[in-house]
Chains A and B, each alone.
Chain A
C-alpha cells in the first residue's frame, strides 16, 4: 500500500505526513520515499490601508499573540506581527484606530524577566512621547498581571496602557483573541488614563472587563474570564460588539498624570509562599536578598519557627513584606501573638496588596529609594492603586 502526502516534520522518531485529505498521520521515517521537494514559497502579504483620521495607537508585542500560525510552506512560525497581519486577522480593529507596531520580544510569558519589563516600560514611554494616544501591549496571560503591575509603577502615563492576550489560542475560530483585541483597542482610545488589563469579563463573547494593572490576577488556568480584579471592582467594561466603554468614577482619566519614566528596578527580591511545616532552613537561600515578600496564611502569618530566621534577614538588611495567600482582604499582624512577633522582627505589613503586585512594587521601590526607612514607608503607601485605604464590602 502506498499513499501520497506532504512530509511536514519529524517528531519523536516519527515522520508527520499530511495526506491529500488534509489528515496528518505519523509513520516510520524509513517508510517514506521522496517524490519531489517543492520550493519554499514566500508567505502572502496583504497591505491594509489604515485610516489616518483615527487615533494613533501603538501595539507593543511581547510574544502574546493576537495573530499567529505555523506556516508549513515556509517551514517556520511566521511572526504575524506587522499591522497588516493583525488587521487582516481582525478587520474590526481598522475601524477603531490607526496602528503602529513594535515587536519587543517573542517569548512565552513564563519566561518574562524584570529586565524585559524595563525594556517594555521604555518602549511604552517612547511611544507615548512620540504621540501615541494609547498603548496596547500583547502579552501571554500567565504573567500578564506581573507585567501590568511593573509598567504601572515604572510609567506615569497620561494615556491608557492596555495589556491584552488570549486564553484560547489564536489559531482556533473560537479564540478570545479577536474580541479581546477589539475591546483593548476601544479601551486604549477611551478616556482611561492608567495601566489596565482588558480581557473577557465572563465566558460569553459580550463584555470585556477593564482591570487595574495592580489589582488584577489570573484566577483560572484556562477560562476566558480568568482575569479578576481582587479587592476592587473592575475599573470599567467594554461591550462587544458595540465597543461601548464605561469607566467607574475611580478610574484614572486620560490626561490626569504627566508622562514620566522611572525604570529602575532592583531584581534581588523574592516571593515565597508559607506552608505548614515549612523549614526555616529554606530562608537561608534568601540571605543577601534586598527584598522578600511572604504570602503568609490568614491575616499574614508564618509559623513561629520562621520568625528568628526572618529577623536575621531583616537585621542583615532585607526588606521583608507580609501579604496574605488569602488574596482577598487585608493583612493585620496585630491580632495574634505570631503577628506581633513578626512585626517585632521587623516584617512590614503589606496591607491588601496582592503578593505578586507587592513583589513588583518592592523591586521598584528598592530600585528607586536607597533609604531603607523611606522604602519601608513607600511599601505601605498607595502609589498606583495597589493598596486601598478602605476594604470595600460586597466583593
Chain B
C-alpha cells in the first residue's frame, strides 16, 4: 500500500514507568502486587467537574453517561494518597531528574518552572478523578528529522482488575510521557521511532522493565480521514500492524460513506421505538433478560452495518461501542440476524413492525431500564449520522484490542480537561540544575564500544548494554575477568537456568564474581557454573556451592580416569578414532562432575585417543 499517497500522518506518545524508589506524589514504593494480597477495599463515585475555563471536557461528559460505582483494592504498600484521602506530597525529585536527563538526551529545552496539572479522567482509573501531569521540557530531535514536542511527568493510573474494580498498587508510579510531532508516514517508521525512543529511555538505567511498563499511544490519520488516538499498544511489534489496520478502517469508513450517499441513505429517526413485546417469547438470553428493548431503522444502511472495516470489526461494532457508554452490553443489527437466539421469524416480525424495507437496517438495544435503552439508541443514531457525514471518520480515542484492531473509547479530550493541581507547588528548573544534568551513554554506543574493546558479537553487546547486569559486567572486567566469560554467564547461562525454572534473582552479584574468579584460578571449571548457580539459588552460600562440586582432580588422577575410560571402550575408540572425542568428553565430565576445565579434559582425551589408535610398533 502506498501510505505516502494516502497521506498517512502518525505521531506517537510513549508512556514509560520510571524505576524510582518512591511514587510520584507519595512515599509509597513503586511496587506491583498480586491482587490476592490486597488488604483493603473501598468504593467511590466520580463526577465531571468544570475546568478553570468553565467547561466540562467532552471526554469526561461521555464517561458521565452512566453513574458507575468504582471499587478499589488497597495494599500495605499503598497509602491515603492513593486512596484520595490525603493531599499529595511534593513532586518526586528523583523522577523529575530522570525526566530532565531524558530531555537533555533528546536535546530539549526545559520548562523554567514546572506546574503540575490535573488531567480529568473519570473512567475510575484514578481515585481522584484526574491524572496529575506536568510539562517538563519541549522541542527534542529524532533521528528521522521529526520532533519530540514535549516530555511530561505523569502519575500512572490504577490497574483495572475487572469491570469497575481497580487495584491501587500501580496508581502513582512515575511515568514519563514523550510526545512526538506527527512526523511519521509509514507503519514501519512508527515502529522504528518507538524502538529508538525506547532505547534512549532504557539507556538511563532508570526505567522499569517488563510487560506493561511501557505503552505506546499512536495518533493516526490519512488525508481524507481524521485524527484518531489509539491507546495502550504494549507490544512494539504490533505498532506497525495497528497503523496498517487503522488506515484500513479509515479507508473502509470513507468507502461506506460514499456508498451510503450513493444509495441515498438517511438517518431521520430521532428516537427509538419500544419493541419489548415483540420478543416476549424469544430464546435470545440477552433479549429475554432485558427490561426494555428499543429499535430504530437506519434507512439505506442494510449490509453496511455488518461490513468489515478492519479484521473482526464492523460499522456495527462502532455503533455498539457508542451504545455501551450507556451501560448496555451492545447492540443487535439485522445485518447479523437471525443469530444469537433471535429467529428469522422474529426478524421478519421486527422489520414489518418497524416498516423497514429491504435496503434498511434495524438496530436493537436491550436495556435494563427505559433510560438506558433511550440513551443507547441515541448513541447509535449519533454514530450512524457520523457514518453518513462529511467526516465519516470521527476524531476519537480508541483502545487497542489483542489482535491490533481497535475499539472506540471516548471522544478526543480537549484542553478543557486540564485544571491546575492546587495542592502541588511549582518547581523551578534553574540553569544550574539543567547544567548539572549528566547525559548517560546510549545503549547503542555502549554496545559499539563493547564490540570494539572485547570482541563480543554485536547482538550480545546490545543485550549486555541494555541488561541490568551491566554494572556487574563492568566490575568483572575491571577485576580482570575475561569479558567473554562474563558475557556468556550473564546472557546465556543465567537465561538458560531461568528457563529451567531456577530462581536466578537469588544469585547475588558477589556470587557471580566469586564464581568467575574460581574459574579463573582453576578452582572450578567453566562447566561447573550452572551447578554452582543452581545450588546458590537453592540457598547455599558460594563456598558451600563450590564445596558440593566433586573434589578437585589432580593431573595424574585425571589421566588415570581418561585411560580407564578409553580402555573400557577400546572397540568404540578403535572404530571411531578421533570422532570418539565428543561422546567420551561427556563420560569424563560426568565422572569428574565439572571439577576440571573441559579444555584440559579435551586435550588429554585427544592425546590418549591418538595414542590408543596409532599403529602399535613392535
Query: Which residues from chain A sit less than 8 Å from chain B, CB to CB?
Result: 1, 3, 12, 14, 16, 18-28, 43-44, 69-73, 168-175, 178-179, 202-206, 221-224, 241
Q: Are B114 and A22 in contact (CB under 8 A)?
A: no
The distance in angstroms between the C-alpha atoms of A168 and B88, with both chains bound, is: 12
Closest to B129 in A: A173
Contact indicator B45/A179 (Cβ below 8 Å): yes
6 A–B contacts, CB within 8 A, in A order: A22-B117, A25-B113, A25-B115, A168-B85, A172-B84, A175-B49
User: A130–B549 Cα gap in the complex (Å)?
Assistant: 96
From residue A205, how far is it (CB to closest CB) to chain B in Å?
5
Contact B117 A173 (CB under 8 A): no
Q: Are A23 and B117 neighbours in the complex by a CB distance under 8 Å?
A: yes
Q: What is the 8 Å Cβ interface bit string for chain B, positions 11-53, against chain A (1 contact, 0 not)?
A: 0000000000000000000000000000000111111111011
- Residues of B near A43 (CB, < 8 A) are 54
State the CA gap A203–B139 with chains docked (Å): 43
The interface residues of chain B lying within 8 Å CB-to-CB of A175 are 49
Proximity string of chain B (159-200) to chain A, C-beta cutoff 8 Å, 1 when within and 0 when not: 000000000000000000000000000000000000000000
Binds A, one of B228-236, B311-319, B410-418: B410-418
Chain B neighbourhood of A28, CB < 8 A? 112
Indicate which residue in B43, B53, B111, B415 contacts A72 across the interface (CB closer than 8 Å).
B53
Residues of A within 8 A of B120 (CB): 173
CB distance from B83 to the nearest CB of A (A): 6
The 8 Å CB contact of B152, one of A14, A23, A27, is A23
B606 → chain A, closest Cβ, in Å?
70
Residues 102 to 130 of chain B near chain A (Cβ within 8 Å): 109, 111-115, 117-120, 122, 127-130
Question: Given A171-B419, A222-B86: A203 and B46 within 8 A (CB)?
Answer: no
Which residues on A sit within 8 Å (CB–CB) of B84?
168, 172, 174
B122 & A173 in contact (Cβ 8 Å cutoff): yes
B54 surroundings in chain A (CB, below 8 A):
43-44, 69, 71, 73
The residue from A23, A69, A71 contacting B135, defined by CB atoms under 8 A apart:
A23
Chain A residues in 8 Å Cβ range of B43: 204-206
- Tell yes or no: B426 within 8 A of A by CB: yes
Which residues from B are CB-within-8-Å of A224?
A: 85
Pair A172/B49 contact, Cβ less than 8 Å: yes
Residue B445 is within 8 A (CB to CB) of chain A in the complex:
no
The number of A-B residue pairs with CB atoms under 8 Å apart is 122
> Is the beta-carbon distance between A173 and B113 smaller than 8 angstroms?
no
With A18-B415, A171-B422, A202-B42 already in contact, 8 other A-B pairs whose C-beta atoms are closer than 8 Å? A21-B150, A21-B418, A22-B417, A26-B115, A171-B419, A173-B48, A173-B49, A203-B42
Given A28-B112, A174-B46, A205:B69 Cβ within 8 A? yes
Nearest CB of A to B52, in Å: 5
When the two chains form the complex, which single residue of B46, B50, B85 contacts A222, counting CB atoms closer than 8 Å?
B85
Interfacial chain A residues near B52, Cβ < 8 Å = 69-72
Whether the Cβ atoms of B128 and A174 lie closer than 8 Å is yes
Using Cβ atoms and an 8 Å threshold, which residues of chain B touch A71?
Answer: 52, 54
Q: Are B112 and A26 in contact (CB under 8 A)?
A: yes
With CB as the reference atom, state the residue of chain B lying closest to A27. B112
Q: Are B139 and A171 in contact (CB under 8 A)?
A: no
Say yes or no: B420 contacts A24, CB within 8 Å.
yes
The answer, among B115, B415, B419, for a CB contact under 8 Å with A16, is B115
Q: CA of A241 to CA of B44 in the docked complex: distance in angstroms?
A: 11
C-alpha spacing A174/B86, complex, angstroms: 12
Q: Is the CB of A172 within 8 A of B130?
A: yes
Complex Cα distance, B111 from A269, in Å, reads 52
B83 partner residues in chain A, CB cutoff 8 A: 203
Q: Distance (Å) between the CB of A315 and the closest chain B CB? A: 47
Q: Which residues of the partner chain A approach B322 to less than 8 Å between Cβ atoms? A: none
Closest beta carbon of chain A to B484's beta carbon, Å? 48
